[in-house]
């Protein structure tokens, strides 16, 4: 079945460091891909998305490119801030029974230190 695999955390970085969180997926068909962010004590918020191959999603300095050839959707940011500390979830949207079901990876915790 469809699945998402994320790099294990935690990822610990100093402020202004470069961030990469790896995400690969397995899916039949052509899913949409998402990154969600969960700040402490809050629900998940959509960070960015891409709906077809070679699309680049971007928001708040984060970027991810839909790579069909490598079935990947890695999250990157050029210079992280302490306020980026959160759990990041990669997800794909799989078609089933007339609706799109979101399938999530296990999440990657990011801790950014001053």
Cα–Cα distance between 35 and 15 in angstroms, integer?
21
Cα–Cα distance between 67 and 49 in angstroms, integer?
13
Q: Which DSSP letter does residue 9 get?
A: S
Residue 91 bridge partners (DSSP): 34, 104
CB of 98 to another protein, least distance (A): 7
Closest-CA residue to 108 (of 31, 13, 11) = 11
Does 51 participate in binding another protein (rule CB under 8 A)? yes
Does 40 participate in binding another protein (rule CB under 8 A)? no
Q: Which is nearer to another protein, 17 or 95 (CB)?
A: 95
- Contact letters for another protein, residues 93-112 (x by CB under 8 A): x---xxxxxx-xxxx-----
Does 34 participate in binding another protein (rule CB under 8 A)? yes
| Part of the chain binding another protein (CB under 8 A), chosen from 22-30, 67-75, 76-84, 92-100 | 92-100
Cα–Cα distance between 29 and 10 in angstroms, integer?
31
Give me the residues that bind another protein (CB under 8 A), please: 4, 32, 34, 36, 41-46, 49, 51, 89, 93, 97-102, 104-107
């Amino acid at each position: 079945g469809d699945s998402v695999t994320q790099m294990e955390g935690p990822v610990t970085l100093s402020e202004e460091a470069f961030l990469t969180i790896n995400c690969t997926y397995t899916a039949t068909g052509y899913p949409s891909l998402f990154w969600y962010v969960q700040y402490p004590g809050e629900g998940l918020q959509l960070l960015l998305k891409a709906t077809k191959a070679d699309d680049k999603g971007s928001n708040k300095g984060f970027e991810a490119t839909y790579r069909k050839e490598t079935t990947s959707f890695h999250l990157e940011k050029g210079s992280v801030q302490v306020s980026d500390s959160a759990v990041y979830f990669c997800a794909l949207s799989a078609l089933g029974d007339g609706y799109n079901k979101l399938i999530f990876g296990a999440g990657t915790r990011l801790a950014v230190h001053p």
